[in-house]
Structures are given as C-alpha cells and as structure tokens.
Amino acid sequence: MVSYFVPRGRFLIKASSLRQSAHFKQVQQQQENGKWPMLRHFRQTFSTKSTTPSDTKKQPNIKSVVQSNNTLSKTGNKYNKQRLVSHSAWTKWTGFLLRWTPVGICLFGVIDWQLHKQKSERESLPRTASSFQSKVYCSLPLRIISRCWGWLAACYVPVSLRPYIYGWYSNAFGVNMEEALYPDYKYYNSLAAFFTRPLREGVRPIDNRAAIVSPADGRVLHFGSAQNKLIEEVKGVNYSVSSFLGPVTWHKRLNGNFEEELKEINDGSTELFQCVIYLAPGDYHRFHSPAEWQPKLRRHFVGELLSVNPRIVNWLPDLFCLNERAVYMGKWEHGFFSYAAVGATNVGSVQIYMDDDLKTNRWMGLQLGAHKDRHIYDEIELSNKTHFGRGEMLGQFNMGSTIVLLFEAPKNFKFTIKTGQKVKVGESLGVLE
C-alpha cells in the first residue's frame, strides 16, 4: 500500500493522519456550534437499515430525545448566563474590596498611632509601640528576609567586582580595613567572609586593670544596676530578667525572689549589673569573652528576628525578650555571670565556635500577628572543663547584632563608660574601686 506524505510546516504527516485530524476538527467545530454529531451519525445508520414495525415505534423516542436535549441546552445556557452575571458581580465587589482595603488598614493604623501618642504624652510615658503596632511589626516576614540575606551573603562574588562592592560597603558603614588581617578586598570570596573578617594580632589590646572588658566592637546602648528583677533596655523602657534568662534551674535555692535565686553570693555584698552593646553593620563582627568565667549551661530561645537598631530598641518594649538569642550562664570570681548573643534582622546565623549544636535562624513557618512563646527554649548542660579566658574569641555574627551582659559583682563595682559611647574589644567597661 502506498502512503502519501503532505508537508505541513516543518513536519511531514501521513495523508491518513491528515484526514483523521480534519475529521476531528469538523467534529470539534460542530460541538462548539451546539450540534450533536453522534446523534446525526446515529440517524444516518438508522435510516440505512431496513425498517421494521418494531423499529418505527422507536422513531418518536428519538425525536423526544432530541427535543429533551434542546430543552436541556436552553436550560444550561440560561444557567450559564446567570452564573456569569453573579461571577461578574462578585469580581466587581472583590476588586473594590482589594482596592480600598489597604487604605482602611492604613487609616486604622494612623488612628491607633495618634491615640497611643496622645496617651503617652498625657501620662508622661516614653513613646513606645502599642500592642497593635507590635503585632503588625512582628507579622512582617523578617525571618524569611534574614534567611534570604544569609543565602545571598554566602554567594560567591567575582574577583573583579570585589573591590567595588566591598569598597562601597566600607565607605557606607565606615569599615577600617587597615585593622583587618587581610586588607586586600580580593581575599574575601563572599559578603559573609568580608563581614566576619579577622583582625591583625595586637590591634585590640586587653586592659588587664579592668574588672570586665568590652566583648565586642560597638556602641553602648545601656548599662547599670539590674535591680527589682528589671533590666533597663533604654531609659524608661524595662524588661524582666526572668523573661530574658528563663527560670533558675541549676540550683535548688528557691525563695520566691528571682534576683536572690540568681546570685551565687547571698551575704548582701553583691548586686546584679547589666550592659548592652550594639554591633553596627560596619563593626568588627566577632565577639570575645569579657572576663575569665566558666559557663554551666546554654539556653537557645527561638524567638523573632526583629531589628536591634537603637531606634527600634527605643520604640519596641521587650525587644530583647522577643528576639532569638543564645544565653550562656555560669559563674566568675564574683558570682553569677551570663553572656547573651541576641539575633536580629539579616543576621544569617549566630555562631559559637565551641557549640556545634547551636542552630539559629531556622525556618519556623508563618505566624501572622502572634509572638513566639518566649518561655520555650532548648537547654544543654556544658562540660565542667569549659572555660573562657579574658579576651578569648567566642563566636561571630553574620551581620550587626547585640551582646547583653548580666553579671554579679561587688557593690563597689563602677562602670567606666557612657551611654552611646563607642567601645572596642578589650577596652575597660568597669573597675572595682
């Protein structure tokens, strides 16, 4: 049998296949026009057969089927028209709502902000975020942004672009590359490597006369005594020591007073002190031990990743209690000592060199308008051999963040710093008079 091929575009098809495709298009066109091709073929087949009395009785049934099908098609068309009308009406209302809903939300937010501002001025309170504003801010996808930034910072940067990218960053945030161990921009193959650059030996001398030294390069947000179970975040904004550290579980001395339970020495000769240091994006991103001390346990609070910029700290109460943080607690020569590395927006991870089990900035799902439970944490006991020396390197941030020190010291301890002062690793924070 001879097969004929007919060219069609760039392909060759059989003539039989062409006839089949043409027949399929004809049937499809008839279906779109509302005809019944199957019923037409059925009538043709029926007419070619010899008619019998029994067959002629079936003909009216065929007409009734056709009439009923026409009735059904009319009913279906009417139903489809009604459905299209209702769908178009719903689409119009949906478009109207989607167009004007953001305006209503913004208007409600402005009214809430004005009422909260008037209340703060009337009661002489610091201007902080209301409960509604706090929920809206915590609903932002900051953890997703931080994870994306962590991925971007780890991407390889071509050698030819490194001087331009890192040079622009250094000029924008005041990075001093003369202190870096590798001052050549081309040495750092990613932004993360540039952020966590090591320093030359000797550029951060340790003040051995001080009782406690600065653990990081940064700016002092606040310092002072931590009395009445409260830590002052900034002037006029406090947060609870128990909310920040969690319950006292490492000894059984429970008397209902958290401050006394926290202390290692209970003869009245000591008190609790605190210091908060903010690391800006242009600062040295590694942090060190401020004194010789022995950590006993580590607690990892999986919280938010809110910005720790001083303006946000002044505005949002309990910020440090809401944020993700790794808290190491133990003792030093004067009693209790704790060291907390607080996570923040765009901090891809908080890395502690001796703690490989610590994993921060993990995906926790979307929780709109709700804070993560601040009382949930992972706790591990550290080896008795774990010991940190003065000035010893502990870990690093992948972006600017905050260090919070809370420690017990004699009452004659005195800070040698001022609020807003820039400090560097090894410089004195306080002395014993």
The one-character DSSP state at 180 is: B
* Residue 338 annotated as catalytic: no
Contacts of 173 (CB under 8 A, 6+ apart): 280, 281, 282
Catalytic, out of 146, 214, 307, 401: 401
What are 98's two structure tokens? 């989607």
367 three-class SS = coil
- For 112, 187, 302, 368, the CA distances from 100, given in Å and listed in that order, are 19, 52, 37, 21
- For 23, 26, 35, 328, the CA distances from 30, given in Å and listed in that order, are 11, 6, 5, 78
Q: How many CB atoms lie within 10 A of CB 222?
A: 20
* Residue 217 annotated as catalytic: yes
Beta strands (DSSP E) in 235-333 are 237-240, 270-278, 286-288, 293-301, 325-332
Parallel, antiparallel or unpaired: strands 270-278 and 402-410? antiparallel
Catalytic, out of 217, 283, 318, 355: 217
410, 269 contact by CB (below 8 A): yes
242, 320 contact by CB (below 8 A): no
Residue 393: name the closest of 296, 294, 298, 286 by CA: 286
Catalytic, out of 285, 288, 300, 334: 288
Contacts of 286 (CB under 8 A, 6+ apart): 196, 198, 199, 216, 393, 395, 396
Provide the residue count of the chain: 433
Quote the CA–CA distance of 165 and 264 in Å, as a whole number: 50
Which residues are annotated as catalytic? Answer: 217, 288, 401
